[in-house]
């Protein structure tokens, strides 16, 4: 019985990711963050614009999260649900989400600060960039385990490889992170677009039942 429930749960989660819409929207957000970080490399460290740019990072991130949620919902309503139907499942208690986000954000901040400090005395290897590569690779690997979709396994390996290559490149932390976000965002967008195209071709729009 428990095995059947796990299969149903996995299939439901797989249903959410199998059309490629989530990774395409998330990739666009990551790509935008990479372009946004480009401002740090172009603005003088003593410029007032740098302070304003830094203050705007959090609002940009919040806007990106909301963009992903809205874009995924709209695209699924237009492309996925008419072809594969709508499946709803019980989500985790919303009251626990702020605690989880705070915990993940805190751990990521601590890990990033530690990796950045190690990078300053690492003989040219940036643990900061390698840490970001590992962090996002683990996220994609977790999705791959939950969904059993091969492309997420491949994306996790690709993202980890990008992080390691950039870590060994000798680039400054901000410049390297900008390139990392752009490359990862492009990879996710391409993967999502190809997957969505195949999904639309294989799944014609369901005909409505005539009364």
| Alpha-carbon span 22 to 192, nearest angstrom | 7
| Helical (H) or strand (E) element with 165 | helix 150-167
Going by C-alpha positions, the residue among 137, 189, 185, 131 that lies closest to residue 158 is: 137
pTM tops 0.85: no
Q: Contact 188/26 with Cβ under 8 angstroms? A: yes
| Alpha-carbon span 32 to 57, nearest angstrom | 11
Q: Contact 27/185 with Cβ under 8 angstroms? A: yes
Give the residue extent of every domain in the chain.
2-87+108-202
Q: Within a 10 A sphere around the Cβ of 8, how many other Cβ atoms?
A: 11
| pLDDT values of the chain reduced to their tens digit, one per residue, 211 residues | 556 556 666 667 777 888 899 999 999 989 988 888 777 667 655 566 656 666 666 777 788 788 888 888 888 888 888 877 666 555 545 555 455 545 555 555 555 555 455 445 445 677 778 888 998 999 999 999 988 899 999 999 999 999 999 988 888 777 888 899 999 999 999 999 999 999 989 888 866 544 4
């Amino acid at each position: 019985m428990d095995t059947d429930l796990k299969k149903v749960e996995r299939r439901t989660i797989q249903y959410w990711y199998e059309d490629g819409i989530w990774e395409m929207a998330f990739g666009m957000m990551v790509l935008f963050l990479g372009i946004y970080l480009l401002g740090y490399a172009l603005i003088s460290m003593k410029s007032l614009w740098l302070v304003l740019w830094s203050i705007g990072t959090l609002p940009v991130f919040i806007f990106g999260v909301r963009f992903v949620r809205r874009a995924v919902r709209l695209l699924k309503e237009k492309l996925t649900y008419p072809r594969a139907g709508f499946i709803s499942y019980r989500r985790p208690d919303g009251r626990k989400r702020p605690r989880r986000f705070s915990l993940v954000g805190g751990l990521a901040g601590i890990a990033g600060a530690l990796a950045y400090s190690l990078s300053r005395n690492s003989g040219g290897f940036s643990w900061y960039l390698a840490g970001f590569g590992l962090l996002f690779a683990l996220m994609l690997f977790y999705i791959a385990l939950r969904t059993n979709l091969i492309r997420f396994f491949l994306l996790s390996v690709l993202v980890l490889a990008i992080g390691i290559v950039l870590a060994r490149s000798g680039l400054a932390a901000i410049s390297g992170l900008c390139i990392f976000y752009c490359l990862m965002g492009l990879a996710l967008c391409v993967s999502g677009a190809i997957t969505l195209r195949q999904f639309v071709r294989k799944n014609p729009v369901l005909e409505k039942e005539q009364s």
